[in-house]
Amino acid sequence: MLAVTACSWGFNWPVSKFLLSELPPFEMRTLCCGAGAVFAFALAAARGENLVPPRGHWGRLTAFAAMNFGAFTILTTLALFWLPASEAVIVTYTLPIWAGILAWPMLGERPTPARIAAMALGLGGVALLVGGVGVAASWTQIPGILCGLAAAWVFALGTVVAKRTPLAMPPVAGVAWQAALGTLPVAALALFEPLRLGALTGLGWGAIGYVAVLPMVLAYLTWFRALRLLPANTAATGVLLAPAIGVFASAALLGEPLGLRQLGALGMTLAGVALAARG
């Protein structure tokens, strides 16, 4: 289950970067998120889950959808637009570090020395990505870096809020509603883009199907199952395969550069996230 989760999320980055070569950013995300929501609702109905959110949970459901799907999708899309997929995944996967930091003021979990070291390693990995290129190139990277960090921060915030006030819904139905509500702001941005759906190739349609089914829905189910079968620290550390898969798959499938700078940043970020997960 953990391997399915890590592979699904890892391959999502080069697949989404490829889709950006065929479609405008938010049109692409609208198709992926909308198809994912439809698939999730169908799967929840097939499992016999109650699709109606509990009374009084609409505000919480909307907030989770805005953080974990809407804002996260918009920000990661912008990060992919400005950065290679291999670098966008490294920056965004600092999210467990920020979750550990946010847990202090929101949950009363004081930061341990391991979490402080994790933050230093994570930021060091990001600094290596930016500082390892020329001045002109680093300035073009900054918008993507900031969007990736913002995506990590907002997802971490959603994670901490969900831990403090969890959503009382079946797992698939909860994912379906969050994906559907989170698609709305993405679709609103897509209205300002030229429609290029007719230019989508067969490979592009297959990529949309992949993103809609695996990373958006099934990977969440296998992740929840892995958390039940494994100790939380083991599961959290094991999912670190995802950014590593994203980096190497981007190099293999898209021909993106994979040198000492990318490997060093990946190593520092993974070390920081591992410390955050165990700290």
Note the pLDDT tens digit of each residue in 17-26.
999 999 999 9
Residues 92 and 71: beta-carbon distance below 8 Å: no
Owner of token pair 């990946």: 266
Q: Which amino acid type is present at position 22? A: E
pLDDT score, position 116: 77
CA nearest to 257, candidates 106, 37, 84: 84
Q: What is the pLDDT of residues 90-105, one digit of tens each?
A: 888 887 777 777 777 7
Distance, CA of 69 to CA of 83 (rounded, Å)? 20
Q: Band the pLDDT of 156: cuts 50, 70, 90.
A: confident
| Per-residue pLDDT at 130 exceeds 90 | no
Work out the average pLDDT over 18-40: 95
Average pLDDT over residues 246-269: 88
What is the per-residue pLDDT for 135? 45
Q: Is the pLDDT of residue 267 over 50?
A: yes
Q: Which class for 56: exposed (0-12), middle (13-18), buried (19 or more C-beta within 10 A)?
A: exposed
DSSP codes of every residue in 64-88: HHIIIIIIHHHHHHHHHHHS-HHHH
> Domain-by-domain residue ranges, the chain?
2-278
Residue 53: both structure tokens together: 């959110």
Q: In angstroms, rounded to a whole number, what is the distance separating the alpha carbons of residues 134 and 28?
A: 31
* Residue 30: predicted pLDDT: 96
Residues 250 and 256 sit within 8 Å (Cβ to Cβ): yes
- How far is it, in rounded angstroms, from Cα 259 to Cα 218? 32
The predicted model gives 137-142 an average pLDDT of 68
The chain-wide mean pLDDT, for the chain, equals: 85
Of residues 162 and 266, more confidence is placed in: 266
Q: What is the pLDDT of residue 151?
A: 93
SS3 for 279? Answer: coil
- 11: confidence class by pLDDT, cuts 50, 70, 90: very high
| Residue 142 CA: distances (Å) to CA of 11, 82, 146, 267 | 24, 8, 6, 21
Given a cut of 90, is residue 49 above it in pLDDT? yes
H or E segment at 163? helix 135-164
